[in-house]
Structure 1
Amino acid sequence: MSAHRPDMAGDLAWLTAAPAPSIGGPSEGGDEVESARWLASYEEMLARTAANAAAVRAAVRATAGQATSPGGEVTVTVRGGGAFDGVTLTPAAGALRPEQLARLIVATAGEAQRAAGGRVAAIMADYLGHGPALEHVTRHLPPGPPR
């Protein structure tokens, strides 16, 4: 299993493995058996899509990001969407001036958010593949590490 996926999500490659039935519907003049088969296939595709979406939603909700400042004074944990989940300060943080500590917390939170965003992007890439839909999702994630 890849490191970017939470344990509960497992490998998400199966999400898009099954081909979708033709959306065109049964052919004109087709019989009832053909129509019933097409409808059953379409209903299976809808159920599979709903289950896949639920699995992705659960994987994203279970995603978190964590970062620790270079000196170890601050550790920040965020949820998959980037919301703060926790901030831990070590005794070494007490030696910093308040404005230094504030900057360090903000910088460390940014790193944690980028880590969570990278995990979310990887989960969504497994589900959506690379293309316009993934670009739309990743456009709303924190940018990558500063260069």
Structure 2
Amino acid sequence: MTEAINDWMAGFEARIADLQRKSADLQQNIAASGATATSPDGGVRVTVGPTGALQDLQLAPSTTRYPPAELAGIIMRVAAEAQREAAHRVAQAFAPVAEGTDAMRMLQEFLPPPPEHVSDAPVDGLPGVDDIDEPPQPSTPPPSPPPPAAPPRPPRRPSTQDDDDFEQPW
């Protein structure tokens, strides 16, 4: 009986040691699960931590050619790419501990979907990295505002001339 208890205890201790090793590996792998993404032209570089929190943003001088709204869109796409990569790395780190469990299935359900292809072409009509073979699309100017209305005319005064004036030769 003592031998059976000793065998059970040895197996239990081995499982605990394995879980401790996996836990330490998990912590280390999650800590290293941040990601960095760069725009296709290399002008925007975003680094996020394992939670997807922004850790670094670098903009090359070439990004000044973009209008502010367009640059913001490029930054958001690159940040989303880095966050997606970080989320997948966290899931990979979690897999050895939770493979086949409900927790792992739930985690995988919340992973970000693959990105939609969005062109990096600036609004100014210059080709972006994805659009070099495509001709630039002409932009139409916004419609001009209607001309201002003419001010109202003052009413005409009645004539003060007398039509019955016979002193005139005509």
Q: Please report the TM-score for the alignment, with normalisation by the length of structure 2.
A: 0.61
Name the residue aligned to 1:114: 84
> Please, what is the CA RMSD of the aligned residues?
1.9
Name the residue aligned to 2:113: 143
How far off is 1:127 after superposition? 3.9
CA distance in 2 between counterparts of 1:69 and 1:60 reads 25
Greater relative CO (CA pairs within 8 A, separation 6+): 1
3-state DSSP of counterpart to 1:87: strand
How far off is 1:131 after superposition? 5.0
Name the residue aligned to 1:95: 65
Compare the two structures and name the one with the higher helix fraction: 1
Q: Is the 8 A contact 2:22 2:96 kept in 1?
A: no
CA distance in 2 between counterparts of 1:87 and 1:61 reads 19
Name the residue aligned to 1:41: 11
CA 1:121–1:146 in structure 2 vs 1: closer, same or farther (change >3 Å)? farther
Structure 2 unpaired stretches of 5+: 118-170
3-state DSSP of counterpart to 1:66: strand
**% of aligned pairs identical?**
32
3-state DSSP of counterpart to 1:99: helix
Matched, 1:67 2:37: yes
Structure 1 residue ranges, 4+ long, deviating more than 4 angstroms after superposition: none
CA distance in 1 between counterparts of 2:13 and 2:81 reads 43
Q: Please report the TM-score for the alignment, with normalisation by the length of structure 1.
A: 0.69
CA 1:146–1:131 in structure 2 vs 1: closer, same or farther (change >3 Å)? farther
Q: Which moved more, 1:72-81 or 1:116-125?
A: 116-125
Structure 1 unpaired stretches of 5+: 1-30
CA distance in 2 between counterparts of 1:60 and 1:98 reads 34
Name the residue aligned to 1:5: none
**Equivalent of 2:102 in 132, 139, 143:** 132
CA distance in 2 between counterparts of 1:101 and 1:146 reads 18
Q: Which amino acid aligns with 2:37?
A: A
How far off is 1:86 after superposition? 0.6
